[in-house]
Amino acid sequence: MTTRRGAPQRALRRCFVLAVALCALYATLGGPVSAAAQHMTAQATPSTDLGDQVVSVTWQGFAPTQPDGTDGVVIMQCRADPRSVLNDCNTADTFPYSLTGNQQAGTTNADGTGSVFIDIMTTARLPSLACSQSTPCSLLVYETTANGFNANGLPPAKTRVIVPLSFARNSADCPPVQQYAFSVESEASASYALYQWAAALCTGPHAFAMDVTNTSSNQARADFLSHLVDIGVTSLPPQPSELTPTSPKFSVVPLDLTGIVVAYNITDPVTHKQITNLTLTPRLVARLLSDSDIESFFSDPELQKLNPGVHWPIEAADPGLRGEENADTWLVTNWVNSNPEARAFLDGKDPYHIAVNPSWLDVPYPTDVFAARNSNGVYFPRIGEEGVADRLFSDTKPADSVPTATLDAGEIGILDYPTALRFKLPMANLTNGVGQPIVPANPFSIAAGYNAMQTTAADFHVEPPVQTGANVYPLAKVDQAMVPQKLTDSPKDLRIRAFLDYAAGPGQSNLPAGYVPLPNALALQTLRYTGDLPAPTSPTTTTTAGDTFAGSLDNNVAPLLADGEDGATGTATSTGTAAGTATGPTTTSRAKTTTTTVHTTNVRANARFVALRLSDSGDHLVLPIVLGLGLLAMLAAGADGVRRHGRRLWRRARRHKPPPELGGQAAR
């Protein structure tokens, strides 16, 4: 009975098992989820020949992001062919470098597409990945799920796409550095070119490594003049007060031609698209810089007149500025200062009857530090070119991406041209006033800006006090290297010469975006210095006290506050002006302004340390006394040992070698 009923039962059981197995197979391999996953794609633009720059990432076929944020998208920069998010995408073995890695979040539209910008980092900024020509990297684009995933591996294959990236040559393509041939500190705008050139010069038969530090013109000049670096790259000549009797004599050679731009990130509240056409005057820039009724900046009559037909955000404009000494600040404030309408605005005599912020009345321009003077203003100067660019960039989205809230969308900042291009930020057209020619920031207008420049006695190229002309960009600048006065035949100088020859020659066709190839006159100036061209007719490469800015600057500067000499007795005091002082000092010299603002931004007022004398404790005597006593004890014990050992030996000698007559008696 049981055996007869067994056959159909077994068949039924087999069918059931087969069905379960098929279901499991379908669940893991097939089904609607994987059908969609097969169509998940993502692209990066650009994805080849990359440097430190922003790329646009787009994706298709992803699950639409829910209102609560599930099914969002994360984009991570990883090693090529990543196996583990932790190890290959930056979070684990990156000590002692940046440990947050590089990632961006995005959202997917209802149609399964989405896009986002990500700031791709090469070796210099993300050493743990060391993305370079020889080490390609990738972008991991994945959907976030409620369950998450094990970070020691990758997100499940059906929720991720890997986009390969290839890079231009950078420092990671250089052999390991034993010793740097020479050191360079540089204005931020020149550093991208210098990094790229250093990478080009580090291999080959005459390879050498140069130590490039991205800082500011002021720092580069100060460190060059204190013999701390071999080359200082600056956009402005040093002040007479910066030159001391111990400063090295130097020559000046141009390295690159670029400009300063007013970049912005403003979203049209009606179309939710980024505004990409904006024109500003020195007066409008002055209004931004002086934090004057900034809540209604976008309803300024002059702005409306210059930019008709734009829907402006109702929020306040947010100035993005560098809060430390640098050449860009000086050049921008110089431009503003030399414009009559802007100057009238700053003096409280605005033709449009907008009152200047009282905290900025009588502020001497030009200055090289933007300082917050109004404690409750919107003003929050940031440190470094990237600090400003990051802030401007942080809310940007590709034009077709999901619109962001418009709350933060009124940002306008001062950047250099290469940085603005790297971050894909729109740049304002500049004009010297309504009715004046409108000049966009581009290589042509910057080259024209160079043509209008003046040359100082020490061969520095600087902006004229007033720019005119149809297509002359008012904020062009030449990054110029302060180099030893004459090059010798020492190994270091030979390499500096090779570097400068490269920079003025082949290097001009190996430039990142944001530079204008050096005009012939400038390249010739560099090559004449290196000795690879005939000497000029009138060499003027000595440093003199009269080496000043062109124009009508007051150069009767007060000396910089003397810093207490290192190692001097503890009498140095810091003046520690409290931040947010309502009015600045009323001197008009640049050096004086600089000094004051440095103290308001950088110094911790610290009365606790004034004239500190320390009492001497006797603790330093403890160890010498103990060791001295120990030494004495060792000597004593040693002498004692020698004495006793000697006595024992003597006694033994007496016992074993008795006098002959005694020995005879003993024998008997």
Partner 1 sequence: MTDTSTLAKLSPRTGHESGVDAPVELAADDASTPARRWIAVGTVARRGIQLFAVVVLAFVVFALWLSGLAHARSQVGLQRRFRSELSQNSAPVGGAIPTGAPIAIVQIPRIGVTEAVVQGSGSGQLRAGPGHVVGTPLPGQPGNAVVAGRRTLYGGPFRHLGSLRPGDVIHATTGEGNSTYRVTNVADLGAGNGSFVQNHGDNRLTLFTSDSTWTADGRLVVTAKLVGNPYPPTNTQAPLDAEGLGLTGQRDAVSYMLVWLELLAVAALLGAYAASRWSPTRVWLVFAPLLAMMMWLFFESFVRLLPATL
Q: Is 206 in the site for partner 1 (CB under 8 A)?
A: no
Nearer to partner 1, 93 or 347 (CB): 93
Which member of 216, 217, 267, 401 binds partner 1 (CB under 8 A)? Answer: 216
Q: Which residue in the block uniquely carries the two structure tokens 């991208």?
A: 192
Contacts with partner 1, 226-255, as mask; x by CB under 8 A: xxxx--------------------------
The interface mask with partner 1, positions 362-391, x = CB under 8 A, is ---------------------xx--x----
Interacting residues of 166 by C-beta distance below 8 A, sequence separation 6+: 47, 48, 49, 50, 133, 136
Contact between 361 and 343 (Cβ < 8 Å)? no
State the nearest-atom distance from the C-beta of 216 to partner 1, in Å.
8
DSSP state of 351: T
State yes or no: residue 644 binds partner 1 (CB under 8 A).
Answer: yes
- Is 436 one of the binding residues for partner 1 (CB under 8 A)? no
Using H for helix, E for strand and C for coil, what is the string for 50-87? ECCEEEEEEEECCCCCCCCCCCCEEEEEEECCCCCHHH
Q: Which is nearer to partner 1, 470 or 627 (CB)?
A: 627
The token duo for 307 is 């930019």
Q: Is 4 in the site for partner 1 (CB under 8 A)?
A: no
Smaller CB distance to partner 1: residue 33 or 603?
603
**Gap between the Cα atoms of 74 and 145, Å rounded:** 11
Q: To the nearest whole angstrom, how small is the minimum distance from the Cβ of residue 432 to partner 1?
A: 32
Q: Around 54, how many Cα atoms within 13 Å sit in the side-chain half-sphere?
A: 24
Please give the Cα distance from 141 to 59 (Å, whole number): 8
Q: Tell me 579's DSSP state.
A: T
> Closest separation between CB of residue 154 and partner 1, Å?
19
- Residue 105 touches partner 1, criterion: CB under 8 A: no
For residue 66, state whether it binds partner 1 (rule: CB under 8 A).
no
Residues 6+ apart with CB under 8 A from 656: none
| CB of 366 closer than 8 Å to CB of 306 | no
Under rule CB under 8 A, residue 640 binds partner 1? yes
Q: Cβ(62)–Cβ(40) under 8 Å? A: yes
648 lines the binding site for partner 1 (CB under 8 A): yes
Instruction: Give the number of C-alpha atoms closer than 13 A to the C-alpha of residue 465, restricted to the C-beta side.
Output: 11
Asked whether position 603 contacts partner 1 by CB under 8 A, the answer is yes
| Site membership for partner 1, residue 564 (CB under 8 A) | yes
Residue from 400, 609, 642, 658 touching partner 1 (CB under 8 A): that is: 609
- Which own/partner pairs from 438-442 qualify as long-range (CB within 8 Å, at least 24 positions apart)? 438/279, 438/306, 439/471, 439/472, 439/473, 439/474, 441/259, 441/261, 441/417, 441/473, 441/475, 442/473
Q: Which of 28, 68, 545, 566 binds partner 1 (CB under 8 A)?
A: 566
Residue 10 in the binding site for partner 1 (CB under 8 A): no
Shortest CB 494 distance to partner 1, Å: 20
Residues 6+ apart with CB under 8 A from 429: 277, 278, 279, 280, 438, 439, 440, 441
Residue placing its CB nearer to partner 1 in the complex, 67 or 176:
176
Q: Among residues 621, 658, 663, 664, which is the contact residue for partner 1, using CB under 8 A?
A: 621
The tokens of 382 are what?
């940031």
- Within 156-195, the residues that bind partner 1 by CB under 8 A are 183, 185
Instruction: Name the residue nearer to partner 1 (CB basis): 12 or 633.
Output: 633
Of 215, 251, 279, 357, the one binding partner 1 by CB under 8 A = 215
Give backbone dihedrals phi and psi of 76, rounded to 5 degrees, phi first. Answer: -125, 140
Site for partner 1, residues 324 to 353, rule: CB under 8 A: 324
Q: Supply the minimum distance, in Å, between the C-beta of residue 129 and partner 1.
A: 15
**Is 655 a residue that touches partner 1 (CB under 8 A)?**
no
